[in-house]
Structure 1
Amino acid sequence: MAGRRSGSAVVALVVLLVALVGCGGRSAADSATADVQRLLDRRSAAVLDRDERAYERTGAGVAFARLRAVPLAAWSYRVTDVRRTGDTATADAELRYRVAGYDRAPVTAGRTLRLSRSASTDGRWSVEADRPARKSAQQLWDQGAVQAVRGARSLVLGVGQSGRSLRDFADLADRAVPAVSDAWGTDWSRHVVLLVPKSLEGMAGLLGSPASSYRGIAAVTTGETGAPARAPADRIIVNPDAFTLLGGLGEQVVVTHETTHVATRAHTGAATPLWLSEGYADWVGYRATGRIPSEAAPELSRAVSQGEVPESLPEDKDFGFTGDASRLARAYESGWTACRLIADRWGESRLGEFYRAVGEHRKRAGAVAEAMRDVLGTTPEAFTEQWQEYLRAQLG
């Protein structure tokens, strides 16, 4: 009897403890997560209100002054995980922000924040550091104070650059936008965002890749292929180390090329081969320059003059940044000459129709063949032969 009563009491006590745990409020981890979220909500409000004192009350991290020039329409954090050890913690968060006048949807970036709390902060959490999450790219303000220059059709954000240099980029972009619209049409945003870091290493940081991947590449455009109308604006990211080696014409061709990628993004998808997307961008870039094929395609011209006519259009792998500059140049020049052939033989508007027709397909298989049949009235095999003849005539 006594043993059974004791056992019953133990069971009742366990049940009571379980009930208390189940009903007794949040765990320490949940409490820390909620506290950190409130802290970052205050931090976000300070950024949007341009309230430096309120920002400083949330702690350190990215210096407020670095963000001051960025025209922000939205800025918020969503805490996804908090790992707490006593009065220190590490939080993972998703930063979402929009650049006013350009982003129709938020840019999302993974961030890792180091936090602490002490008697000096009344026991509240404070940010000690705010940096890109592992495997996440840097944001421009991670590299230093951002300067902003607005063009008529562009926004240029730079770090470590002179105001004159950023103005020059805005002028290049302002000339590129109407040039692209004249070739492609006006069914795109018709404004661009350029990011100009201090160096090649800064460019690589913004792309989350090794600097060796972009050495010699003057600029790249980031964005989601086939993106809907409500999407973050593409960013044209400049490699200043390579860009300074270009002459005035080369600078304009590069910015117009990258702006073409912005314009065509919604019609570029998994079915679009790189020879077409890169070739079309080069075709628009060179379209109004008056450059003849041997001038615009020197590597391919050298090969053709030596009897080395390509057997086929380049594959996507030929556009990889492998360090073989000649191979990469021939790939781009091959794509450009193929698009130039279409414009010369079928007309510029038909070239645009062909581009869109290829992009409408969800898969690569059969996309080019079907578009060539429907838009150009030819086949890939016949087109390749025509292209080879075109190369001999133009470059031989």
Structure 2
Amino acid sequence: MTDGDVRPPGPAVSSGEPATATAGCDEPATQPAPEVGGAPAAVPSAPPRGRRRRPLWIAIALVLVLVACGVPGVLLLGLVGDAVGRPAAGRADDPAAATARRLGQRMTAQLDRQAAALLGGDRTGFLAVADPAARPALTRRYAALRALRVTVWRPAADGLPTAVDGRPGEWRLPVRVGYCFVVPGCTPSTVAIGTRWRLAGEEEPRLVAVEESAARPAGARPWEVSDLAVAVGKRTLVATTPTLRGKLPGLLVQAEAAARVADRYAVGTAPPDRYLVFYAGRAEWQRWYGGGRPKWTAGYAVGVGGGHHDVVLNAQSLSPAGVDDLLRHELTHAASLPDRGYADRSSWWLVEGLAEYAGADGQPVGRYEGLAEVRKLLHGGWAGRLDALAPADDAADDRVGGAYGVGYLAVRHLVDRYGEQRVLDFFRVVVHERRPVAAAAEEVFGDPWPALHDDCVGYVRAVAG
């Protein structure tokens, strides 16, 4: 799917009690405090713990974004020369194009200076290329990127500059940036942004504004539009707004524990070099990564290029008991999904079933508290086909919860029968290589898919019936 699937709200309950500062971790209770950036602020009290109704029926959305044209971030390096430095091979620039290219080179030189200042921790230098009116927004962006420990920032022109209608002396230059946080040697994520510039005589171009990134491939990143407070751990980075800063230490502990689970389900490559988790307040939930999620959504994973998927949690929809399961589920998406996501709704059961299996974290099947929703789905019109399991965006809560439960039970049956590694191999062939499920079953399991499908559905009926 390309635009997300959802689950109904409700208190997500992990296999144990709600995590404390050390629950679910291998580290001793005296582990070092997380490093936190951003200004402190008052934090609203946590909502009371809800009644235990079902383990994962918090609304989880998986936003699977296909990177435009499949161009990885590392290929963006060197685009400045091709885009604005010289004409295409065998063609001569007309005078207007030649002038635009020279102007673009001057703009990208300014962006290069700004990038060097950002990586060097020089705020004055970062702001020096901008008009005074643009500096407040750039100051916020600089602070957010530094809090996220930006290690790579590579701006490249994504076309020629064009004059802004009705604004004499102003020009717009599309820019694509490859960036990394915390890990210097990562494959960069990418973001496409618009920049506006002012020309005054022979002075260097001055940056007037940096526009929010487009709705695709992922929408506005949190660091583009919000002040951020950040906590960094060994495997994860957790960020939120200054208002919710007090949540960071506990969230980091829970994210680190979830990462150790999710690492086991990396498919095709090594686990992510770092999991990024953004904890959104009410306003940020509507704005980060384009917003617009269904009202029941409590979390999702979104592809941002370079093989990375950022995870977003909805602070308004989560009970303390639900965070552990949600993090395991979403971080497993980040570990298991291909960079380009997946577009075939017929494999929804496998994608969500694997994440749900990881979220359950080894608990006995009988303790899976969504069995009532599965039972209702079995008796409520589902035709018994896994490839038709994906719920509609406007489906009722119990229909969505039942679908996740069926996916979990089907994957659980495959794991019990063949083991985790062969199920991950099956996932790779179906989701990463995009081959038919029947061919994948024959290759990986050595069994015909029609019979195996019926065995999975029979297992679901036996457990939940």
TM-score normalised by the chain length of structure 2: 0.67
Shift of 1:371: 2.6
Equivalent runs, 1:161-310 vs 2, <5 Å = 161-182=243-264, 188-189=270-271, 191-199=273-281, 202-203=284-285, 205-208=287-290, 210-211=291-292, 213-223=293-303, 231-242=306-317, 244=318, 246-248=319-321, 250-266=322-338, 273-290=347-364, 292=366, 295-304=369-378, 306=379, 310=383
Cα distance in structure 2, aligned partners of 1:352 and 1:370: 15
Are 2:244 and 1:140 equivalent residues in the alignment?
no
Residues 195, 207 of structure 2: 8 Å contact kept: yes
Residues 219-241 of structure 1, C-alpha deviations (whole Å, 9 max, x = no match): 222237xx9xxx34321122222
Structure 2 counterpart SS, 1:162: helix
Distance 1:311 1:263, change over 3 A: same
Q: Give the aligned length.
A: 359
Q: Of 384, 392, 397, which residue of structure 2 is paired with 1:311? A: 384
Structure 2 counterpart SS, 1:62: helix
Partner of 1:62: 138
Cα RMSD (Å): 3.3
Residues 309, 391 of structure 1: 8 Å contact kept: no
Question: Which runs of 5 or more residues in structure 1 are unaligned?
Answer: 1-20
Distance 1:50 1:383, change over 3 A: same
Distance 1:171 1:214, change over 3 A: farther
Partner of 2:170: 88
The structure with more radius of gyration: 1
Partner of 2:460: 391
Distance 1:380 1:105, change over 3 A: same
Equivalent runs, 1:315-354 vs 2, <5 Å = 315=388, 318-322=390-394, 324-354=396-426
Residues 197-244 of structure 1, C-alpha deviations (whole Å, 9 max, x = no match): 533553453333x52x343222222237xx9xxx343211222222x2
Structure 1 counterpart SS, 2:369: helix
Cα distance in structure 2, aligned partners of 1:296 and 1:103: 42
TM-score normalised by the chain length of structure 1: 0.78
Cα distance in structure 2, aligned partners of 1:39 and 1:193: 31
Residues 234, 256 of structure 2: 8 Å contact kept: yes
Amino acid at match of 1:236: V
Amino acid at match of 2:388: E
Partner of 1:97: 179
> Which one is further off, 163-172 or 350-359?
350-359
Shift of 1:279: 0.4
Residues 171-207 of structure 1, C-alpha deviations (whole Å, 9 max, x = no match): 1221112223456699623554233253355345333
Cα distance in structure 2, aligned partners of 1:102 and 1:222: 22
Distance 1:374 1:97, change over 3 A: closer
Shift of 1:154: 0.9
Q: Of 367, 373, 379, which residue of structure 1 is paired with 2:442? A: 373
Structure 1 counterpart SS, 2:156: strand
Residues 39-91 of structure 1, C-alpha deviations (whole Å, 9 max, x = no match): 22221121111111112211124223333312112213222232235322222
Structure 2 counterpart SS, 1:340: helix
- More RCO (CA 8 Å, sep 6+): 2
Cα distance in structure 1, aligned partners of 2:240 and 2:289: 15
Shift of 1:109: 1.2
Structure 1 counterpart SS, 2:161: strand
Amino acid at match of 2:347: P
* Structure with more of its chain in helix, by fraction: 1
Distance 1:214 1:207, change over 3 A: farther
Residues 173, 196 of structure 2: 8 Å contact kept: yes
Residues 152, 180 of structure 2: 8 Å contact kept: yes
Residues 275, 331 of structure 2: 8 Å contact kept: no
Q: Of 141, 152, 158, which residue of structure 2 is paired with 1:74? A: 152
Distance 1:23 1:297, change over 3 A: closer
> Which one is further off, 274-283 or 78-87?
78-87
Shift of 1:320: 4.6
Residues 149, 181 of structure 2: 8 Å contact kept: yes
Cα distance in structure 2, aligned partners of 1:86 and 1:337: 63
